[in-house]
Amino acid sequence: MRTKDWAVRLKLAPNVQSASRAIVVGRGTAPIVKALQLLGIQDILVTDIIPETLARTKADHGSAGRLGNELGVRTWEGDFTELPAYMGPADVVVFCSPNFGTQTSAREAMTQACMTVRPGGCVLIATDVGNDWFTPNFPPQREGLASLVAGLPCRIHSEQEGQYAYCASLQVPPSYRLRSPVLLQGEVVRGFGRGSRQMGTPTANIDPAPLQAALAGMSKGVYFGWAQLVTPEGWPQADAALHKVVLNIGSRPTVNAGGEADTVECYILHDFQGGQEFYGCHLRVVAVGYLRPELKFPDLDALVARIKADVAATQLHLDSPSIADHNATAAAILLKEASAA
């Protein structure tokens, strides 16, 4: 398809405008890069695991600086699922080829893309329909696309299949609000003691067994919200107040050897008397927003770095006016539960 036709299609996707930052992934990026440039987009990163793709990009566009704020077409060679955080965030990620720039899977690449894109931005699958790819499930098309992104924080915005090209557009939600706040509460139980505390992020594990009904309606992943602890006798009033919380619902793929039940783990952003333990206490948590799906990190350092980013995002979202009404609802729910107890 011609550059101009691609530009027309790409322009329809949410948040694709001249000031956007774009990441273009995989073989066959050349027409997409040209179309993005035609739309005035100047900040473009091309990534692939295959060096030839990048060699071609460099030949076409020269090589802008690898770091810094220099505009232009830059390249990064590596597996897209391992894209360093400083390469993001982007407004749009475009996948151009069946390998999705990774040796893992299309699904993991999509997950990474959802986390690399800013809220409100989009992930595109855009490819010319050539003779060279009779790859099963690519382009994914309708049901394939739906299952590729099921459970990920994005929605199908549009899908166009033509004789010469395929273009699917997925939008990452502009805000991370849950439809309505969700109350989870129970006794703080012992976890697997895998050193959350040593990592500086203790997670109070709530006994998940009685929560099955509430959990059934929630995707696994990382949420943010408000927590209130029923403190032991004698603890200061401040400890019993409402505190911000980052909560993880799921199977902890980085440390789980497999076969362990899902957990609900709450990292409360408050210093309880110098990190005192409170096993056996009753903990109430209201989730108001969703941050990201659960991910498997290559090592603990990467996990810790991501947790720090999650904490920063939690602070930001909970202080944002766009979530103020949910915060008020959460406070009301916690007050009601406390007075009913």
Residues identified as active-site: 265
Q: How near is the Cβ of 338 to ligand ADP at its closest, in Å? A: 19
The partner in contact with residue 164, picked from ligand ADP, Mg ion, none with C-beta cut-offs of 5 to 8 angstroms by kind, is none
Residue 186 interacting with Mg ion (CB under 5 A): no
Q: Which residues bind ligand ADP (CB under 6 A)?
A: 188, 190-193, 196-197, 202-205, 266-268, 270, 272, 275, 277-279
Q: How far apart are CA 302 and CA 308, in angstroms?
A: 10
User: What is the DSSP code string of 227-274?
Assistant: EEE-PPTT--GGGGS-EEEEEEEE--TTT--S-PPPEEEEEESS--TT
Distance, in Å, from the CA atom of 199 to the CA atom of 188, rounded to the nearest integer, reads 19
* Shortest distance in whole angstroms from residue 190 CB to Mg ion: 8
CB 293, CB 221: distance < 8 Å: yes
Amino acid at 137: N
Query: Using the rule CB under 5 A, is 191 a contact of Mg ion?
Result: yes
Q: What amino acid occupies position 138? A: F
Least gap, CB of 201 to ligand ADP (angstroms): 8
What is the 3 state secondary structure string of 63-104?
CCCCCCCCCEEEEEECCHHHCCHHHCCEEEEEECCCCCCCCC
Pick 39 or 199: Cβ nearer ligand ADP: 199
CB of 315 to ligand ADP, least distance (A): 14
190 binds, among ligand ADP, Mg ion, none (CB under 5 to 8 A by kind): ligand ADP
Using alpha carbons, list the distances in angstroms from residue 69 to 23, 45, 196.
15, 12, 36
Residue with tokens 């749009």: 92
Which of 37/315 has CB closer to ligand ADP?
315
**Candidate residues 29, 53, 169, 196; the one interacting with Mg ion per rule CB under 5 A:** 196
Q: Give the shortest CB-309-to-Mg ion separation in angstroms.
A: 19
Binds 211: which of Mg ion, ligand ADP, none (CB < 5-8 Å by kind)? none
Q: Please say which residue, 38 or 255, places its beta carbon nearer to ligand ADP.
A: 255
In the bound state with Mg ion, the residue whose beta carbon lies nearer, of 228 and 248, is 248
Closest residue to ligand ADP: CB criterion:
191
- Position among 75, 185, 203, 248 found at the interface with Mg ion (CB under 5 A): 203
In the structure encoding, which two tokens stand for residue 26, read together? Answer: 């995989």
| Shorter beta-carbon distance to ligand ADP: residue 168 or 184 | 184
* Alpha-carbon gap, residue 108 to 54, rounded angstroms: 22
Neighbouring CB atoms inside 10 A of 173's CB total: 14
Note whether 270 and 204 are within 8 A (CB): no
Residues binding Mg ion: number (CB under 5 A): 4
Residues lying near Mg ion in the complex (CB under 5 A): 191, 196, 203, 205
